[in-house]
Amino acid sequence: MSTLRQELQATIDALVQEGKGLLAADESGPTIAKRFKTVGIESTEENRRQWRSLLLGAPGLGEFVSGVILYEETLGQKADDGELLPRLAERQGIVPGIKVDKGKIPLVNAAGDEITQGLDGLAERLEHYKEQGARFAKWRAVYNVSDTLPSRLAIETNAESLACYAAICQEAGVVPIVEPEVLIDGDHSIERCAEVTEAVLHEVFHALHRHGVALELMLLKPSMVLPGKEHAKQASIDEVASSTVRVLGRTVPPVVAGVFFLSGGQTPEQATAHLDAINRTGRRPWPLSFSYARALQEPPLKAWRGQSANVGEARQALLKRARLNGAAARGRYDAADEKKG
C-alpha cells in the first residue's frame, strides 16, 4: 500500500468507528449569524470562537464523535487557554476536518437550480488546511425539488463538481466527504424525494468512477429520504427508514467506507429517531451514522445563549444529543431517554 493510501486509510479508520459520528460545525458566516440570532447572540469573531471552543471542549465528546467539520476561520482560532481548536479536538480523540466549498450560486440556464463553487485553487488550499491539522474535507451540493427540479443539467453538473473535488482531496492525502443534499423545502412527496435522490446518487457515483476516486477511501453524506416540509402527508419514521435504505441499496456501492447522514432541517429528536430506524432495517453493507449540525448544536445553543455561566449546561446538552445519536448509530436508541439528562 502506498504512503498516500495508508494516510487516507488511517483517517478513514479514525472516522468510521461503531457508535460514533461527526459534528458538523462548519457554518458559514451568514448561517451562524442566523443561528445566533435565534438566541439573541451577535455573530462576532469572539462569540464564534467561544461557541466552537465550548463544543470542542465538552469533556467526553470523543466517546460519541469521531470527527468534526470546521469552518476555515476555526482552524486558526484558540481556546481560552491558548490551545488551537483543531488541537483541542485531537486531544479529545476527534479528527479535525474542513469545509472547502465556497457556497452555492444559481446555475446558469437552469432556473431554480443551484451549483456549488470553490474548485479554483482547491489543491493549494488543501495543502494549507493540512498544515493546520485538517485530515478530511467536505463539499456540499444542493438540489431543489419540485415536479421539474432538479434539472438534468443540475444533477450532472453538481455530480461532476463533487467528483472533481473528491479526486483533488485524495491526491492531497485528505479524505473527501461527498455531500449531495436533496432539500426538504417544498411540498413534494416522499416518493418524489426518493426518485430525485436515486437519480442524484446514481450520477454522483458515475462521476466519482470517471474521476478515479477510490470509493473505499471516501465517505458519503447524503440526506435521508423525506417528504417536503409543506407536503400534506408526512411520512412515519419507518417509512423514512425503509425508503432511505432502499434508495441507498440501489445506488451506493458496497465498498464505500461509510454513510454519515446530514440532518437537513429535521428537529434533533426526528434526526435521532430516523437514524435509529435506518439502523434497525435489514442487511446493509456500510456503516450508517450521523454528521449533524443543527440537530446536535440547537439544544446546547439554546442552553448557552452567549453566557459564560451556562457553558456547563450547554456542554451537557451537547453530550446528551451526541450520546443519543451514538446509540441510534447502533440501532439502540430509546425514545424514553429523551426525557433523561
Nearest to 146 by CA among 110, 116, 187, 109: 187
DSSP symbols for 14-68: HH--TT-EEEEE---HHHHHHHHHTTT----HHHHHHHHHHHHT-TTGGGTEEEE
Nearest to 221 by CA among 185, 257, 173: 257
The x, y and z cell numbers of residue 258, run together, are: 461509510
* Residue that the C-alpha cell 486531544 belongs to: 91
Confirm if 229 and 148 have CB atoms less than 8 A apart: no
Confirm if 134 and 70 have CB atoms less than 8 A apart: yes
> Which residues share a beta bridge with 288?
259
Query: In Å, how far are 59, 93, 166, 231, 320 from 63, measured between CA atoms?
Result: 9, 8, 28, 38, 12
Q: Which residue in 20, 99, 138, 221 is the catalytic one?
A: 221
Nearest to 281 by CA among 234, 320, 248: 248
Q: Which residues contact 311 (CB under 8 A, 6 or more apart)?
A: 54, 304
Query: Has 131 been annotated as catalytic?
Result: no
Confirm if 182 and 196 have CB atoms less than 8 A apart: yes
Q: Which residue in 179, 181, 203, 298 is the catalytic one?
A: 179
One-letter amino acid of 245: V
**142 φ/ψ angles, rounded to the nearest 5 degrees:** -120, 145
Confirm if 32 and 25 have CB atoms less than 8 A apart: no
Task: Please give the Cα distance from 252 to 260 (Å, whole number).
Answer: 13
Q: Which residues contact 60 (CB under 8 A, 6 or more apart)?
A: 319
**Per-residue buried b or exposed e for 290-300, using 16+ beta carbons within 10 Å of the residue's own CB:** bbbbbbbbbbb
Query: Has 221 been annotated as catalytic?
Result: yes
For 334, other C-beta atoms within 10 Å of its C-beta total: 11
Residues carrying an active site annotation = 179, 221
